[in-house]
Amino acid sequence: MIELMIAVYGTIWWLVFKKFKLIPVNQWSVVTSVLIGISFIGFVLMMVNLYQPSSSDGRSFVYTTPIVSQVKGKVIEVPVEPNKPLQKGDVLFRIDPVPFQNKLDSLLAELKLAETRLKQETYLMENNAGSQYEVDKYGSEVDRLTADVANARFDLEHTVTLAPTDGMVTQVFLQPGAMAVSLPLSPVMVFLHTDKQYFMVTYKQNVLQGIKPGLEVEIAFTAIPGRVFSGEVDRTLPVLGEGQISPSGRLLQFAAPVRPGRAPVLVIVNDDLSAYNLPIGAQAQVAIYTEHFKIFGMVRRIILRIASWENYIFLP
């Protein structure tokens, strides 16, 4: 854009000094015109960057959930397909249920026997032929086995792992025969919650005072050259990662200055992007048009469209 502004100013200079000779050419007029040009271009760029800010650090993203098996066992089926849309409750994978069913059957048999003995001991005590101790003993046994049966049913039900929400699994490396374990650090796949997609862009902190919800936004995706899409500011996130302090056994140290973090801004894309092969995580240049010095918004629109057309040539 600087080159374009220099070319425009150079054309004006040529028309004034050479073509129509409105001003005589001498050392004073040349130096003055150069200084005016530099000051004008610098002023325009400063106002555009401050009040109509743009950032090339915009990306689409979704939340992900590492899928960890609730029980340990051998995987017998993985019906999920990579990148295929899933609905909440669709099966992701199944674990061999036989050991869990056998355990449940065994516990149910023990519970049935304990309930029978409890009835017998209760009957004997009511007829002065038994003791309260035996009734309490088998009552406690029934309670314990009831809890064990509930846990066994839980384990059996979770031999089938289901999709937690609408979404998809983009990479499926799990195959039948693998051993799934119930460890948080050993997920078997990553689930993408595509029911809620977001677009985030980060800006330098010196433009934050002019950014507020509802402002007009234009987005130029690197993956879609020559197109500019409309949107609006949703909100700015109130906390930066640089402001986080974690508990530890050491006091804070400030030996080196902390670099100023970039402020994240959530953006709503108003245009429909479903017709484009746009992957999650796609990068884009995003311009926000504030309510201050709106005249410079036209300059930003030109700059953004030039950048969009440059995506045909300058590949990242």
- What number is the average pLDDT over the span 263-269? 93
CATH number at residue 109: 2.40.50.100
Task: Tell me which of 174, 193, 212 is where a domain ends.
Answer: 193
Residue 247 lies in a domain: no
Residue 207 lies in a domain: yes
Residue 252 lies in a domain: no
172 token code pair: 């499926």
- Is 81 in the same domain as 223? no
Residue pair 107/127 in contact by the 8 Å Cβ criterion: no
- Is 272 in the same domain as 174? no
Residue 315 has pLDDT above 60, yes or no: no
Edge-to-edge strand list for the sheet holding 179-180: 160-162, 91-95, 73-77, 179-180
The total of structural domains in the chain comes to 3
Predicted local confidence at residue 33, as pLDDT: 82
Predicted local confidence at residue 247, as pLDDT: 85
Task: Match 């064990």 to its residue by tokens.
Answer: 148
- Is 46 in the same domain as 155? no
* pLDDT, tens digit (0-9, with 9 covering 90-100), for 190-218: 999 887 778 999 999 999 999 999 999 99
- What number is the average pLDDT over the span 278-291? 92
Range with lowest mean pLDDT among 66-80, 194-208, 279-293: 194-208
Predicted local confidence at residue 3, as pLDDT: 66
Residue 244 lies in a domain: no
Residue pair 67/92 in contact by the 8 Å Cβ criterion: yes
Residue 168 lies in a domain: yes
- Is 35 in the same domain as 119? no
Residue 185 lies in a domain: yes
- Is 151 in the same domain as 227? no
- Is 137 in the same domain as 155? yes
Residue 311 lies in a domain: yes
* pLDDT, tens digit (0-9, with 9 covering 90-100), for 40-51: 888 888 899 999
Residue 1 has pLDDT above 70, yes or no: no
- Is 107 in the same domain as 144? yes
Residue 230 has pLDDT above 70, yes or no: yes
Confidence of residue 109 (pLDDT cuts 50, 70, 90): very high
- How does DSSP classify residue 42? H
- Is 153 in the same domain as 294? no
Number of helices (H) and strands (E), helices first, in the chain? 5, 11
Predicted local confidence at residue 228, as pLDDT: 95
Contacts of 112 (CB under 8 A, 6+ apart): none
Q: Spell out where the chain has E strands.
A: 54-67, 73-77, 91-95, 160-162, 168-169, 179-180, 189-203, 216-221, 229-236, 263-269, 283-289
- Is 208 in the same domain as 189? no
Residue 7 has pLDDT above 90, yes or no: no
* pLDDT, tens digit (0-9, with 9 covering 90-100), for 169-189: 988 999 999 999 988 888 999
More confident call, 13 vs 109: 109
- Is 34 in the same domain as 112? no
Please give the residue range of the domain that contains residue 43: 1-51
Residue 245 lies in a domain: no
